[in-house]
Amino acid sequence: MEIGKSIRIKDIAKLAGVSVGTVDRVLHNRGRVSEDALQKVTTVMNQIDYKPNLIARTLGSNKNYRIAALIPDPTLDPYWAQSNLGIIQAQTEWAQYGVIVDTFPFDLYNKDSFHRIARAVVEEHPDGILIAPIFYHESIPAFELFQEAEIPYVLFNTNIHEAKPIGFIGQNLNQSGRIGAQLMMLGQHDPATFAVLHIDEDVHDSVHLLEKEKGFRDYFQEKSKAKFEIVDFNLNPHQEAFKTQMIQLLENDMLKGIYVSTSKGTALAAAALEDHGKKDIRMIGYDILSENLKYLRSGTVDFLINQNPKRQALLGISHLVNHLMFKKSTPPMDLFPLEIITQQNVDSYLGSGIH
């Protein structure tokens, strides 16, 4: 019994009564095909389910693809260091198949740098671009450059609706905040105050953060627990006032929980909380960064919502490779699961390879 005998181009050619060359031209619509031949091939194609052998395709079209990754400098920020790990993994994984990934780091706090690097990327005319467009307004002209140069690009981490990428990889931010709220509310019977901490050095990706914070507040409003009060804090850790503001916040006796919308801010707020020595405050933050991990282990942080930066980047590259090399269509939006991390399951996340 013949098994797994899939249809080859040669088979289609025979069925249609043409040569493989003609079938090839039809499949890739390279033109130079008569109306008659095209008809014959498409008829066959409609009857059978042709799935090109991707293995053979990659081997046959022995091409090199260059992908540029446009992300904030990973050496300056632990979150983006994680993203970079994903890029490096993708790089080594695809290296032997002629895919090379170049990272173009820009300064997280410098919009001009973003602009400059974006232009540099286009000048290298790579075959594809992975981009974390954390600067909302500045990214629009970058996308225009990409489109002009006809370079396909994939967004990750931050979605920009005006951009027309081949795909976006990230999370539902509103829902992310709602989970924070749900976890915050769990088992809270008495009237209490919860703080939403917007900790950021700059306002650059505030849209990103505001969306989460809105989700958090929305959830409380929907559940209409009037007994809960939500207070907002806009903090800049570089400012002198940061420490005193935190102390002021923590001295509120009604404070029963803190939600921080940034991964970096999580560690900062946790440090302040641990210094203050108040133990009965539930704290929810973002991402399994080593700093945050410390506070999760010590019990200061109760929950981390994992944004999975490493996997986001890894998948971003994969989508580009699929698009370029395998000509496979990729989902226009790949929303990652909103992973809830606690002291008790964090190791299961660290231990497992990819997930």
Partner DNA sequence: TTTTTATATGTGCACGCACACATTTACTTT
Partner DNA sequence: AAAGTAAATGTGTGCGTGCACATATAAAAA
Which residues of the chain form contacts with a copy of itself (CB under 8 A)?
3-4, 6, 51, 53, 55-56, 58-59, 64, 66, 95-100, 171-172, 175, 178-179, 181-183, 186-188, 219, 282, 302, 331, 334-340, 342-345, 347-349, 351-353, 355
Which phi-psi region, left, alpha or beta, contains residue 224 (left: φ > 0; alpha: ψ -120 to 50)? left
Residue 329 or residue 348: which is nearer to a copy of itself going by CB?
348
- Residue 339 Cβ vs DNA, minimum distance, rounded to whole Å: 37
Interface with DNA includes 291 (CB under 7 A)? no
The site for DNA, by CB under 7 A, has a size of 29
Residue 63 or residue 297: which is nearer to DNA going by CB?
63
Q: Which two tokens stand for residue 52?
A: 């090109």
CB atoms within 10 A of CB 208: 18
Partner in contact with 136, chosen from a copy of itself, DNA, none, beta carbon below 5 to 8 Å by kind = none
DSSP per-residue string spanning 148-178 = HTT--EEEESS--TT---SEEEE--HHHHHH
Q: Which two tokens stand for residue 93?
A: 């994984």
Rounded to whole angstroms, the Cα distance separating 227 from 287 reads 30
Residue 47 or residue 224: which is nearer to DNA going by CB?
47
Interface with DNA includes 19 (CB under 7 A)? yes
Rounded to whole angstroms, the Cα distance separating 243 from 235 reads 10
Residue 15 or residue 20: which is nearer to DNA going by CB?
20
Partner in contact with 238, chosen from a copy of itself, DNA, none, beta carbon below 5 to 8 Å by kind = none
**x/- binding map, residues 31-60, to DNA, per CB under 7 A?**
xxxxxxxx-------------xx--xx-xx
Residue 66 or residue 276: which is nearer to DNA going by CB?
66
Residue 59 or residue 247: which is nearer to DNA going by CB?
59
Side-chain-facing half-sphere of 333: CA atoms under 13 Å: 10
- Residue 262 Cβ vs a copy of itself, minimum distance, rounded to whole Å: 19
Rounded to whole angstroms, the Cα distance separating 27 from 120 reads 35
Quote the Cα angle for 184-185-191, to 5°.
115
Beta bridge partners of 234: 198
- Residue 110 Cβ vs a copy of itself, minimum distance, rounded to whole Å: 30
Please name the amino acid found at residue 324: L
